[in-house]
A and B are shown apart, each in its own frame.
Chain A
Amino acid sequence: MADPATSTSGKGGVSGIREDLFDATFLRRIEHLALLARRMASSGQRAARRSKKIGGGIEFADHRDYAPGDDLRHLDWKVYGRTERMLLRQYEEEEDLSVYFLLDRSPSMAMAPPGELSLFDRALQITAALGYIALSNLDRVALAPMTDGKARPERPVRGRAQLFRILRVLSSLEPGGQTAIRDSIRDFCRYKPRRGLVVLISDLYDPDGLGDGLRELAARGYEPMVVQLCDERIFQASVFGDLTLVDVETGERQEIWLTPEVVATYREVWDELSAQVESAAREVGARALRVDLALPFDEVVMKVFRSGGFLG
C-alpha cells in the first residue's frame, strides 16, 4: 500500500498537484483519517459495504410474491408447504460501491480574501480526503465537477494508488460558470453512472433550490449525501453604508445601505435556506451536513463519518 505522505515528489511536490492544498501534511492527515475509518469499521460500525441491488448473490434478502414467468428455482417450497403461498426467495447482489463527488465549482465557492482558503479550496480538500478513504476501502471513486448545469462524471478509479490521479484532477479544477444544482444533477444522471453514493459538496446558493435534484437522485437509485459549505465571515461584514452588491456569478447589482440589522436579516434568510436543504435531504432519506469554512477539513471528514451514511 502506497503511503500518500511519502509518495509525493518531496519538496517540490508532485507535478500537477496544488501544493497549497495537498501538501505532505495534508496527505499524512488523510492517511490518519483512513486508519481511523478502518478502526471504526472493525468496531462494528461498518461491515462490508454492499449494494442494495437484489440480484444473484448468495445472501438471502427478502421474499416476494410469485409472478408468472419467475424462475421456479427461486420458489421457497418450504413456505409453500407450510402456508401454500407461493413466495419467491430474493438474494442481495454483492458488488463494489461507487462513490461520486459532485463538486460545485461555481465562482461563489471561490470568494475569499487574498491568502485565505475559499470554500472551493476547502471542498477540494474534503473531496480528496473522502476520496482517499473510499479508495482505501476499495470503493470506486469518481469526480463530477458541476457548474453551469453540467456535471459530467469522470471515469471511476479504484485503489489507493489512484489518489494522485484524483488530486491532479482536483488541482486542475478552476471556478467558473454559474450555480445550477438541479440541472447539474440531471446532467449527472444523464450519463447513467452506476448506482452508488453521491456526495454533493456545495454552498448550495441555487435560486431553484435543492429538492428537485435530491429527489431525482433518489428516484434513480443513488444515495445522496449533502455537504453544505458556508463562510461565517459573511455574517461579520466589515463594510457598511451605501453599497452596491454585485453577484459574482450573474453580475446582478443590488443597491443597499448595509447596516448590522440588514446583515442580521441576511443571516435569517441564509438559515432558512439551510433549513430548506435539510428538509429536502430528509425527504429523500439523505444526510445533510452544514460545514463552516473555519472548521479544519479533517474534522469535517470526521463529522461526515459520525453522521453515518458514508462508510456505513
Chain B
Amino acid sequence: MIGTFDTLQALFPWAAGALGVLTLLYLLEPRRRQVAVPFGALWRKVLERAEARRIGRRWRRFFSWLFLAVCISALLAAVGEEPLGLRALRERQQPPPLHTVLLVDVSATMATLDGDRDGALGPRQRLDEARRRLRAVVEDALPRERFLVVAAAVAPRTQAPWSEEKRAVLAAIDGLEATDAGLDLERALAAAVDAVQDRSTPRVVVVTDGGPSLHPVARALDAIRGVPVRWLIVGPAALGETPEEAASERLVDNAAVERVGVRSSLIDPGRGVVSARVRNDRGQATRLRVLLSAARDGRAPEDFARPEAVVAEQVVEVPPRSTVAVAFADVTLAPGRFAVQVRPAADADFRDLAPFDDWGFGVAARRRKVGVLLVGKGNLFLEAALLAHDGLDVRRVSPQDYRPAAFPRDKRLLHGVDVAILDQVEAEAPQDTPVWRFDLRPHTAAAPGEEAPRSAGELVIGEEDHPAVRALSLHDANFDQVRGLTLPTGAHPLLKERGGAVLAYARDDGVRRLDFGIDLLETDLGGRYFMPLLVGNAVEWLAGEEAAIVSPLEVGRPWAIGLPVGGQRWTWFEPGLPPRQAHASDDALLASSEAQGIHVWTSDSGLELARPTRLADGERPGRVGKRGPAWTPHPTAARDDTPRAPWPAWTLLVAFAAAALLLEWGLYQRRRTV
C-alpha cells in the first residue's frame, strides 16, 4: 500500500478537485426533484412536527455525500493501484525493479577502531565506514531499486525487509551494531543469494573488513551461485582496493604471519626458540622484515607495536607465493607473551594490503618434563647427557625386562613415556612411541654383508638443518666401528660417510624415529661437548616440535579451553576490549572471538590461562579478492516476479466501489419510482 499512497499523492490535486466538484454539486442540489404541492403551509407543519428537516435533510444528505466521497476515494485508489491503475501504467513504462541485498559484516572485527586514510578524522569503527559506504550505495540507487539489509555474523539476520524507501533503508543501516560473534561468510552469502536469486535484477553488495570467517572464504564464494556480488572492503584491507584490483582475480600484495611457536629449551628452560611461518602472497620474491616483540602483559597488536617491545628482527627473502620458517633462537622467555610482525623490508617495492594478518602471537608454556624410556645395558656417556637436561624424566629398563610384546596389552608400561631410547637392544621398538635407536648390529632384513660393521670413513653431516643435529658438528668424531644403513623412503640422512653409506637418519612417517648405526662405546662421541646438545636436540625432535608450544586458537571458531580446576569464576581479557565475565562449563572455558592477539583468562584464585590466536587457514585477502561474476547495473534481461497478494488491493477497491455505486444508483432509482 505504500506505493498506492505514493501514487495517490500524485493524484491528490485531481482527487481534491473531484471532491470539490462533488461538494459543489451537492450544494447546488442538481439532482433534487421538485414536487408541486397544494398547501405548503401544511407541509411546513409536517416538517416541524416530524423533524424531517433535521434527520432527513441534514444527516441523510451528509451521509449520502460521505457515501459518494468514499466511492470516489475508492475509485481513485483503484486507479492508483496496480496493475490496472496509473501506477501499473507507470511501471510498465519503466524497467523491472532491481533487487539488492546489502550484506553487512557485523562481526566483532567491525568494531575495530581504524584511522581514516588521511588521518584527519581520527579513529573510528570499521562499521562506521561500512555505514558510509552503504549510504553511498543507497543514495546512488537506481529508480525502483529495492534493498534488503542483512546483518551477517555467525547467523545472518534481516535488518530491514525489502523496501524502496530510502529513508527506511538508511534507518536500518544506521541501526547496525557490531556483535561479539564471529562471521560465517558462507552462511551469510548463501542466505543473501537465497533471498535475491529468484527476483528481477539481483545483486548482492557485501560490506566487510575482510576479517576471518568461520569457514574458508573459498567455500563462501561457492554459495554465490552466479549472483553478481559487489565487494566493499572497509578497514585496513580496503586501502589498496581499486576498481582494477576489484575486477582481477590475481593474488594481491600481502605478507602474513601464519603461525607462531614458542618453545623453551631442554637445556635452559628460561630461554627458548620463537619460530614463525611467514607467507608471501605476492607473485614475486620479496624481502620481509620479521619483528619479534615481547610484552609481559601484552594482548593486542598495539601492546606489541611499541619500539621497546621489539626484541629481535630478521630480514628474510620469501619466494613468491611461499611460506618460510623463521626462528628466533635463544630468546628470553621471561615475558611469556610474544608477537611476530611481518613488514616489507625498506627496499621492497611492496604494499601490504591486509595488515590484519601481519601479526602472529605466541605464549611461552611452562614446560613439562619429557618422559624417556632408556633401554640398554647402561652407557655412561648417554646417561650423562640425559642427566644434563632438567626437563627429562628418565626411566631405565634393562634389556631383560624390556618386553615390547606386552605393550599393546598393557598401556601402563608406556605411561608417561614420550621417547624411547634403545641402546644396542635387539628387541622391537614400541609401535606408537618415538624411538632413538643405537644399534651396531646388522638389520635382520639386510642382505648378508650389506650392513656389516666396518671402519668408518670421513664423516659428514647429511641434513644440517634437521632439528636433531642443528648447530652440531660431527666431523671430528672418531668412529671405530660403524654400520651402513639402508636409507628408507622419506628418511633424512643425518650422518654419512663422504661418498659412502648413511650412518644415521631421521624418519617421520607418523611416528618419529632416529636410527644411528653406531655404538657409543666404539666412538669418542659420548665424551665430546656436543653429546648433551645432540641428546637435547634429538629428544626435543622426537618428542615433537609442538610438544612445548601452546596451541593457538583459531579466531571466529568456538573455543573450549580446558581448565586445570573447576568451580571458579573466570574473567576474560579479550585483546582490545575491556574485561568481562567468561562463560565456563565444568571443565572448559567457552568462548569465540575474532579479536586477534593473546586472550587471557584469570580466575578468582589467581590462576591465569593465556592463549594466542591465529587466523583461519583460508583467510587470505588475496582470495577474498577473488570476486564473483561482474556486477552489471543495467542488465537487459530481467523479470519482475515480485510476490503479489492473490487478491490485490485494487480488486477489492474496485469491487467495493462498484457495489457502492450500484447501491447508490439503486437507492436513487427507488426514490424516483417507489
Residues of A within 8 A of B (CB): 107-109, 111, 203, 205, 207, 234, 238-250, 252, 254-259, 261-262, 265-266, 268-270, 273
Chain A residues lying within 8 Å of B61, measured Cβ to Cβ, are 242, 257
Chain A residues lying within 8 Å of B33, measured Cβ to Cβ, are 239, 241-244
B47 within 8 A of A: yes
Chain B residues lying within 8 Å of A255, measured Cβ to Cβ, are 32, 53, 57
Chain A residues lying within 8 Å of B64, measured Cβ to Cβ, are 242
Let me know if B46 and A266 touch, CB within 8 A.
yes
Chain A residues lying within 8 Å of B671, measured Cβ to Cβ, are 239-242
B42 within 8 A of A: yes
Partner of B672, one of A203, A241, A248, A270: A241
Evaluate whether A256 and B38 lie within 8 angstroms (CB atoms) in the complex, with A242-B60, A242-B61 already known.
Answer: no
Chain A at the B interface: mostly helix, strand, loop or mixed? mixed
Evaluate whether A254 and B34 lie within 8 angstroms (CB atoms) in the complex, with A238-B674, A261-B50, A265-B50 already known.
Answer: no
Let me know if B32 and A254 touch, CB within 8 A.
no
Let me know if A207 and B60 touch, CB within 8 A.
no
Chain B residues lying within 8 Å of A273, measured Cβ to Cβ, are 42
Nearest-Cβ distance from residue A253 to partner chain B, whole angstroms = 8
Nearest-Cβ distance from residue A112 to partner chain B, whole angstroms = 10
Q: A109–B38 Cα gap in the complex (Å)?
A: 8
- List the A residue with the shortest CB-CB distance to B34: A244
Let me know if B36 and A269 touch, CB within 8 A.
no
Let me know if B674 and A244 touch, CB within 8 A.
no
Chain A residues lying within 8 Å of B43, measured Cβ to Cβ, are 245, 247, 254, 256, 266
Chain B residues lying within 8 Å of A258, measured Cβ to Cβ, are 52, 56
> Most A CB atoms within 10 A — which of B29, B35, B44?
B35
Let me know if B45 and A269 touch, CB within 8 A.
yes
Nearest-Cβ distance from residue A152 to partner chain B, whole angstroms = 24
Q: A248–B34 Cα gap in the complex (Å)?
A: 11
Nearest-Cβ distance from residue A63 to partner chain B, whole angstroms = 50
Q: A95–B39 Cα gap in the complex (Å)?
A: 41
Let me know if B56 and A111 touch, CB within 8 A.
no
Q: A111–B60 Cα gap in the complex (Å)?
A: 30
Evaluate whether A254 and B40 lie within 8 angstroms (CB atoms) in the complex, with A245-B35, A269-B49 already known.
Answer: yes
Evaluate whether A111 and B36 lie within 8 angstroms (CB atoms) in the complex, with A242-B60, A256-B52, A262-B56 already known.
Answer: yes
Let me know if A205 and B42 touch, CB within 8 A.
yes
- Supply 28 A–B pairs (Cβ within 8 Å), ascending by A: A108-B39, A109-B38, A111-B36, A239-B672, A241-B667, A242-B32, A242-B33, A242-B57, A242-B60, A242-B64, A243-B33, A244-B32, A244-B35, A245-B36, A247-B36, A252-B41, A252-B44, A254-B44, A256-B47, A261-B50, A262-B52, A265-B50, A266-B43, A268-B49, A269-B42, A269-B46, A269-B49, A273-B42
B637 within 8 A of A: no
Q: A245–B33 Cα gap in the complex (Å)?
A: 9
Evaluate whether A243 and B34 lie within 8 angstroms (CB atoms) in the complex, with A254-B47, A265-B46 already known.
Answer: yes
B2 within 8 A of A: no
Q: A247–B35 Cα gap in the complex (Å)?
A: 9
Chain B residues lying within 8 Å of A257, measured Cβ to Cβ, are 52, 55-57, 60-61
Let me know if A108 and B38 touch, CB within 8 A.
yes
A246-B40, A257-B57 provided; 8 other pairs, C-beta below 8 A?
A239-B672, A247-B36, A247-B41, A252-B44, A254-B43, A265-B49, A266-B43, A269-B49
